[in-house]
């Protein structure tokens, strides 16, 4: 899950296994959520998004689940590959409470894929 501090939580996953990365959010009015992947030395890369009127959304090898009751978001990566090693973080927005484009970001989870 997400944390504040110098050290990010780490998820170690064996290649080929499924990964589950969690994110807790605090604003019950948040209605748009994004998962980003950030490789070392690069900018955040969009993975998948979901609006609050959905519970689940699937992409290529990734699934995002949203539980509004407990304000929890998760990202599932199927058949994790070495190229999936990165920091993953969630972002939330509550338009129009938040201005268009203004997101709150989690600190992230470091995913390490082992052979």
Instruction: Give the binding site for other proteins (CB under 8 A).
Output: 2-8, 32, 34, 36, 41-46, 49, 51, 89, 91, 93, 95-96, 99-108
Q: Which is nearer to other proteins, 78 or 103 (CB)?
A: 103
From the CB of 19, what's the least distance to other proteins, in Å? 20
Q: What residues form DSSP beta bridges with 92?
A: 33, 104
Whole-angstrom distance, CA of residue 83 vs CA of residue 21: 16
From the CB of 74, what's the least distance to other proteins, in Å? 17
Q: Which is nearer to other proteins, 16 or 92 (CB)?
A: 92
Q: How many CB atoms lie within 10 A of CB 56?
A: 10
* Cα–Cα nearest to 33, from 108, 91, 109: 91
By CB atoms closer than 10 A (0-12, 13-18, 19+), residue 61 is middle
Q: Which is nearer to other proteins, 2 or 84 (CB)?
A: 2
Q: Which is nearer to other proteins, 15 or 51 (CB)?
A: 51
């Amino acid at each position: 899950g997400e944390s504040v501090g110098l050290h990010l939580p780490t998820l170690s996953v064996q290649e080929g296994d499924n990964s589950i990365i969690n994110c807790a959010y605090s604003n019950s009015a948040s209605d748009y959520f994004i998962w980003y992947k950030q490789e070392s030395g690069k900018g955040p890369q969009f993975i998948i998004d979901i609006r609050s009127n959905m519970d689940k959304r699937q992409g290529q090898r990734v699934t995002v689940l949203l539980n509004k009751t407990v304000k929890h978001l998760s990202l599932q990566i199927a058949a994790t590959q070495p190229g999936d090693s990165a920091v993953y973080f969630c972002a939330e927005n509550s338009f129009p409470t938040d201005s268009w484009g203004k997101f709150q970001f989690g600190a992230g989870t470091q995913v390490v894929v082992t052979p």
